Structure 1
């Protein structure tokens, strides 16, 4: 089995942890597996280096300075592996066989990186390459970086381009947890999670794997997150399943927009739960929810909108006076744009709404999440809006 193992800064935070990492790599090699290693800077080295740059510095010099953390890590790991009889070499920008190539804009040069990664993979039957994470190099030899979480990106990208069976992210957490164990009692490890789920969690603060790395995850590449203390690269942790693909979807049936208004709605704890429970009691499924300062809007099938209105009206008339009225409007269509690159695309809302506005179409509502945008328009405008969005994405 061919494995790309990425060791985060915490897992390399001391000489003892470097030795633990080397033990796990050597054990996998002894078991007959081909292992490539991606190493982050030890501990908080990168942040420490950035903190010491108290003077004006251009991007080129900044990249060279912060690269020192990863350059040190690969030398440490290579030496620790050599002490265990493992044939290893470290790779950093500047070497002829360096695999991660960037263009002039600092973006990954896919074709050049694929070619070099394949050449590196061909040598893995008798060598463990130890590669600096986070860094890239232009064809002109300038060092650049892949941004926050860049070592994760390096690992999953190389896993894909080196035709690896699995990428293992070695970090200081027990894979993905049901909640923050520092906050929630009884938090436990999740055995598996989809790319969609993890990207949404990652963009909302879960520090497991960099969202940018998951762009390179495809169906044929297994990805796992494991804790460095276990010392086993080949088992445990959380499996990340599936792949994240760009998708444009239009709901086939029209929706009704039901709005519950109330001046004190934002100050009433549990208001969303109460309203949702009233709809649940009528077996009404909610397609989407939008909330404002003094209103909550539910989108439901037009065919059941009268029952939904009646259920919500009951909440208004029997409540504590914080709700004042219910209104229903339709028919609406919803077009959803889902894609792994949406959060990294500045102006993405403008890119969607601008062409729709230019066509003279009114956007009734927009609901966004970490990796999707839902556009609500009049039912009669749905086909034109779908075409506009497809042309853009």
Structure 2
């Protein structure tokens, strides 16, 4: 058994659905469980409809048109889709009467995207002669807490999923399960969404609980690349990365898998393979616990723009320990996440998301420190074997020096698989190109 996950762009329209169906059919002998996101812009259209409903107007035209046009092009009649669209209209009517959209209602609203998607795919596969059956996530035991818009799956899911899909795994059930990603229900039977990386988490949870051979996430590139091919045309696929390396890649800008989605597969050691839906013969990249051979010196380079650098210098109001406590207590108070940090006893330099509102944070920090904030910065991260950090940095800084690039801050992660450096945002692409040339000879 394998798990195959396809994102929204993969099922954006009838043409894409036909293509994904052909990929699923190509792997039918491996007994796939398929996890789908909502079609294309459906989630955005649902939220637009919610905004209109709060103002008193009920309009599902965009959602309705996409799904009816797609069904027509696929030549399928899907009563379940029509039923859901009726339910959606009823929900929006309720919102329009209350003029309010709570987190709980928002989760119910956006769940329609995934629920419509799986019905469409299952109907088309069945029409093509491939037995398939759609499942809403709760049908296979996806139970979460009640933290709406960012729910976490409960431990009982590990037992629920094998019970629900056991007949398919042992061959008794023939229909390929087509399952909604991103959603679940809480103990009270209320629909929840799993937040960022939710569809990936659905796939890795199913694959890990079922003891799958591997979990496949399908994209439009040949797996994980050494860097963004839009920046460096010579970027090449990486055959193998570890869970830890993949998490660091995701944290620092690479769209691989969200870090939280790797928690289930790390628990069971289930490999995750990133595949290209337009080149299914390619092996792609596999994410595993440990490298099967020698650890590469450098695995990949990634970058994040729109970063702010905060320099914090103690004014001696607090002792050394008190200074650090003061700083981090303020970040906790204002719920601002730190990306990269470099410290000494009396000073700290750190980076935060450029969109973060720092007004209250800076005011509080200034009670015990001198604070400088600089915008338009970028983090460039080397995913590497930090055991070779001296030779890696020697090559990197030699190349950057030759191009007169000044690195403003450097930090080596505790995970020992990343080295991050801060540069001006307008230099980001050039820095990535220079480093890729220097480190992937």
TM-score scaled by length of structure 1 = 0.59
**Alpha-carbon offset, residue 120 of structure 1:** 2.7
Runs of 4 or more off by more than 6 Å in structure 1? Answer: 291-296
Is 1:110 aligned with 2:152? no
1: CA distance, partners of 2:166 / 2:188 = 25
Q: Give the secondary structure class of the aligned counterpart of 1:53.
A: helix
1: CA distance, partners of 2:120 / 2:15 = 11
User: Counting helix residues as a fraction of each chain, which structure ranks higher?
Assistant: 2
**Alpha-carbon offset, residue 291 of structure 1:** 6.4
Note the 1:217-366 alignment, pairs <5 A: 217-218=265-266, 220-231=269-280, 236-242=283-289, 290=342
The equivalent residue for 1:86 is 130
The equivalent residue for 1:281 is none
**Alpha-carbon offset, residue 108 of structure 1:** 1.0
The equivalent residue for 1:171 is 219
Look at both structures and tell me which one has the larger radius of gyration over its CA atoms.
1
Distance of aligned partners of 1:66 and 1:368 in 2 relative to their CA distance in 1, 3 Å threshold? farther
**Alpha-carbon offset, residue 81 of structure 1:** 1.2
The equivalent residue for 2:18 is 19
Q: 1:41 aligns with which of 38, 42, 66?
A: 38
- Stretch deviating more after TM superposition (116-125 or 64-73): 116-125
The equivalent residue for 2:186 is 138
**Alpha-carbon offset, residue 290 of structure 1:** 3.9
Q: 1:184 aligns with which of 204, 227, 232?
A: 232
**Alpha-carbon offset, residue 185 of structure 1:** 2.5
The equivalent residue for 2:256 is 208
Q: Give the secondary structure class of the aligned counterpart of 2:2.
A: strand
Q: Give the secondary structure class of the aligned counterpart of 2:236.
A: coil
Distance of aligned partners of 1:295 and 1:24 in 2 relative to their CA distance in 1, 3 Å threshold? closer
Q: Give the secondary structure class of the aligned counterpart of 2:126.
A: helix
The equivalent residue for 1:3 is 2
Q: 2:175 aligns with which of 127, 136, 146?
A: 127
Distance of aligned partners of 1:83 and 1:230 in 2 relative to their CA distance in 1, 3 Å threshold? farther
Distance of aligned partners of 1:185 and 1:104 in 2 relative to their CA distance in 1, 3 Å threshold? closer
**Alpha-carbon offset, residue 231 of structure 1:** 4.0
The answer as to whether partners of 2:137 and 2:179 remain within 8 angstroms in 1 is: no
Q: Give the secondary structure class of the aligned counterpart of 2:167.
A: coil
The answer as to whether partners of 1:3 and 1:33 remain within 8 angstroms in 2 is: yes
What whole-Å deviation, never above 9, does each CA across 1:353-376 have from its counterpart, x for those lacking one? xxxxxxxxxxxxxx784869xxxx
How many residues are aligned here?
253
Distance of aligned partners of 1:50 and 1:114 in 2 relative to their CA distance in 1, 3 Å threshold? same
TM-score scaled by length of structure 2 = 0.53
Is 1:158 aligned with 2:203? no
Distance of aligned partners of 1:19 and 1:187 in 2 relative to their CA distance in 1, 3 Å threshold? same
The gaps in structure 2 that reach 5 residues or longer are 55-99, 291-340, 350-410, 417-441
